[in-house]
């Protein structure tokens, strides 16, 4: 074999070995690049999914624009509140930043611009910030707009201002009376007025001081209800007997006004689990109001009955009634139907708001119905003791924590009852607990004939 043939043979053998190796290596490199690209795509997709999940979980609206001022991201809150989100930052500022000065501030080059808009019965606060970002290709920047709903905050602020104004007015009125009468007595009244006139003036001062005392007590109670909630001391008791005792206690007041007071019991399940003092306060307020706003010779009727899982106390009168336009406002603090003659009927304007808050603390409610010049009807609804305690027991079995004051009291009572020696091994099962609840409910009822 000639040298030339040997060279050709070796070249052919080399090519036969090298070319497949090169092809295999090329395919492996392409496969590796493809895997790297897929990993990069998956990483970007995961990061995008995570960022979208984070944006969706926020309770503020987010709108992001890139370095070219084009829309790159938004979240569901922003879409719900703004309804229309322009594709560009300039379009956003033209739509939402013209009247509040945001567009002008942006063109003046400010880094952070803010403004407020009223949209779809919401008061929204917009904050637009420029966010610079560094990358391997240099420095670029975008804009992030945050949207916050200030509606509830503004309403609370308006209520706070109205509350302060009302408190100031209610305190100023008796203080003015006390000041004027005491000044008169000190200047010349004691020396020149007769004994009966002096007694009348002192009685007026005393009445207004009592009114201030009641107002301050009501304000302190409302403050307690608004902050951490008034602590309850709940127990099982007979609501029929409770309402009957209150009506008998107020009979003299009704007789003074020549108002007839009638009581009717229409239930065989009168037990409730509640704070007795709170329920007595609610019922006293409803009955006193009925007597107060019923003319001489009128009638106030009190009914106690049950409907489904609730027990109710209905206080019905044939008094002056409430206009339909005012019926939805009577549970507002300091609201009075008759602005001019309210002093004639007394009260602080806080009785019904306090009664409603106390009812809600017991998972109850107060419904009001009225016809002007025909009378009013206020109904307190409370859950039956057996119903409330059984629901609480089910929640305890599910390891669910009590969510409000009355269920916390119910849970505490059930735990105390479960600790009583009802079995030899000290273990109380679900059936035994239900029997204990029925026993406690039955023991809390006074068996008395209905009227």
CATH number at residue 351: 3.30.565.10
**Residue 227 DSSP SS3:** coil
Angle ∠(345,348,351) on CA atoms, nearest 5: 95
Q: What average pLDDT does this structure show over 169-192? A: 90
Give per-residue pLDDT as tens, 239-248.
999 999 999 9
* Residue 217 belongs to domain with CATH number: 1.10.287.130
Q: What pLDDT is recorded for position 114?
A: 94
Q: What average pLDDT does this structure show over 215-237? A: 85
Contacts of 120 (CB under 8 A, 6+ apart): 81, 83
Q: What average pLDDT does this structure show over 190-203? A: 92
Q: What pLDDT is recorded for position 16?
A: 67
Residues 194 and 238 reside in one and the same domain: no
Per-residue confidence at 158, pLDDT binned at 50, 70, 90? confident
Q: Which residue has the higher pLDDT, 123 or 436?
A: 123
* Residue 68 belongs to domain with CATH number: 3.30.450.20
Residues 390 and 379 reside in one and the same domain: no
Whether the per-residue pLDDT at 420 is higher than 70: the answer is: no
Per-residue confidence at 323, pLDDT binned at 50, 70, 90? very high
Q: What pLDDT is recorded for position 117?
A: 94
Q: What average pLDDT does this structure show over 117-145? A: 79
Residues 393 and 316 reside in one and the same domain: no
- Is position 6 within any domain? no
Last residue of a domain, one of 118, 149, 180: 149
Q: Which residue has the higher pLDDT, 50 or 159?
A: 159
Q: What average pLDDT does this structure show over 377-387? A: 96
Q: Which residue has the higher pLDDT, 231 or 188?
A: 188
Last residue of a domain, one of 226, 260, 282: 226
Is pTM beyond 0.75? Reply is no
Q: What average pLDDT does this structure show over 195-206? A: 93
Q: Which residue has the higher pLDDT, 36 or 182?
A: 182
- Is position 390 within any domain? yes
- Is position 12 within any domain? no
Residues 346 and 415 reside in one and the same domain: no
Q: What average pLDDT does this structure show over 301-321? A: 96
Name the burial class of residue 258, with classes exposed (0-12), middle (13-18) and buried (19+) by CB atoms within 10 angstroms of its CB. Answer: exposed
- Is position 7 within any domain? no
CA-closest candidate to residue 101, choices 74, 128, 132, 120: 128
- Is position 21 within any domain? no
Q: Is the dihedral of CA 374, 352, 323, 289 positive or negative?
A: positive
Average per-residue pLDDT for the chain: 85
Residues 246 and 279 reside in one and the same domain: yes
Q: Which residue has the higher pLDDT, 230 or 378?
A: 378
φ, ψ of residue 141 in degrees (nearest 5): -150, 155
Residues 357 and 419 reside in one and the same domain: no
CA 364 to chain centre: 15
CA-closest candidate to residue 92, choices 80, 100, 84, 81: 84
Q: What pLDDT is recorded for position 159?
A: 76
Q: What pLDDT is recorded for position 382?
A: 97
Whether the per-residue pLDDT at 173 is higher than 50: the answer is: yes
Residues 264 and 315 reside in one and the same domain: yes
CA-closest candidate to residue 204, choices 230, 170, 180: 180
Range among 14-23, 135-144, 357-366 rated most confident = 357-366
Residues 436 and 298 reside in one and the same domain: no
Residues 217 and 291 reside in one and the same domain: no
- Is position 291 within any domain? yes
Domain count, the chain: 4
Residues 250 and 177 reside in one and the same domain: no
Residues 247 and 372 reside in one and the same domain: yes
Q: What average pLDDT does this structure show over 276-305? A: 95
Q: What CA–CA distance (Å, rounded) separates 165 from 223?
A: 16
- Is position 367 within any domain? yes
% residues pLDDT > 70 (the chain):
84
Last residue of a domain, one of 206, 226, 246: 226
Q: What average pLDDT does this structure show over 308-335? A: 92
Whether the per-residue pLDDT at 332 is higher than 80: the answer is: yes
- Is position 317 within any domain? yes
Whether the per-residue pLDDT at 253 is higher than 70: the answer is: yes
Residues 127 and 105 reside in one and the same domain: yes
Range of the domain at 206: 155-226
Q: What average pLDDT does this structure show over 389-417? A: 89
Q: What pLDDT is recorded for position 422?
A: 45
């Amino acid at each position: 074999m000639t040298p030339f043939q040997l060279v050709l043979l070796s070249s052919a053998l080399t090519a036969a070995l090298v070319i497949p190796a090169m092809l295999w290596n090329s395919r492996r490199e392409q496969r590796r690049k493809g895997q790297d690209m897929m990993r990069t795509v998956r990483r970007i997709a995961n990061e995008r999914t995570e960022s979208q999940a984070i944006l969706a979980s926020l309770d503020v609206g987010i709108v992001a624009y890139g370095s070219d001022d084009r829309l790159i991201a938004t979240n569901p809150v922003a879409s719900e509140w703004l309804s229309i989100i322009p594709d560009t930052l300039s379009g956003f500022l033209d739509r939402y930043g013209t009247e509040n000065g945001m567009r002008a501030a942006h063109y003046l080059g400010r880094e952070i611009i803010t403004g407020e808009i009223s949209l779809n019965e919401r008061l929204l606060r917009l904050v637009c910030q420029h966010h610079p970002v560094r990358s391997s290709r240099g420095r670029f920047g975008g804009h992030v707009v945050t949207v916050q709903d200030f509606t509830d905050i503004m309403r609370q602020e308006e209520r706070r201002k109205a509350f302060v104004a009302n408190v100031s007015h209610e305190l100023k009125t008796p203080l003015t009376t006390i000041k004027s009468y005491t000044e008169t007595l000190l200047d010349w009244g004691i020396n020149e007025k007769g004994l009966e006139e002096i007694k009348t003036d002192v009685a007026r001062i005393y009445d207004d001081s009592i009114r201030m005392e009641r107002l301050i007590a009501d304000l302190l109670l409302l403050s307690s209800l608004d902050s951490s909630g008034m602590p309850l001391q709940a127990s099982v008791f007979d609501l029929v007997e409770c309402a009957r005792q209150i009506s008998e206690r107020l009979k003299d007041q009704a007789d003074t006004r020549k108002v007839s007071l009638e009581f009717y019991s229409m239930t065989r399940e009168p037990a409730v689990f509640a704070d007795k003092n709170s329920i007595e306060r609610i019922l006293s307020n409803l009955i006193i109001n009925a007597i107060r706003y019923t003319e001489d010779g009128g009638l106030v009727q009190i009914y106690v009955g049950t409907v489904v899982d609730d027990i109710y106390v209905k206080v019905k009168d044939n008094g002056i009634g409430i206009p339909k336009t005012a019926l939805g406002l009577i549970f507002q603090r300091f609201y009075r139907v008759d602005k001019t003659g309210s002093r004639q009927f007394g009260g602080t304007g806080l009785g019904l708001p306090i009664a409603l808050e106390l009812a809600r603390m017991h998972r109850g409610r107060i419904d009001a119905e009225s016809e002007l010049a025909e009378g009013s009807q206020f109904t307190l609804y409370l859950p039956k003791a057996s119903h409330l305690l059984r629901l609480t027991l089910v929640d305890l079995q599910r390891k669910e924590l009590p969510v409000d004051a009355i269920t916390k009291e119910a849970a505490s009572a059930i735990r105390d009852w479960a600790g009583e020696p009802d079995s030899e091994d000290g273990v109380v099962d679900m059936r035994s607990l239900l029997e204990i609840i029925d026993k406690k409910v039955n023991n809390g009822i006074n068996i008395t004939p209905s009227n």
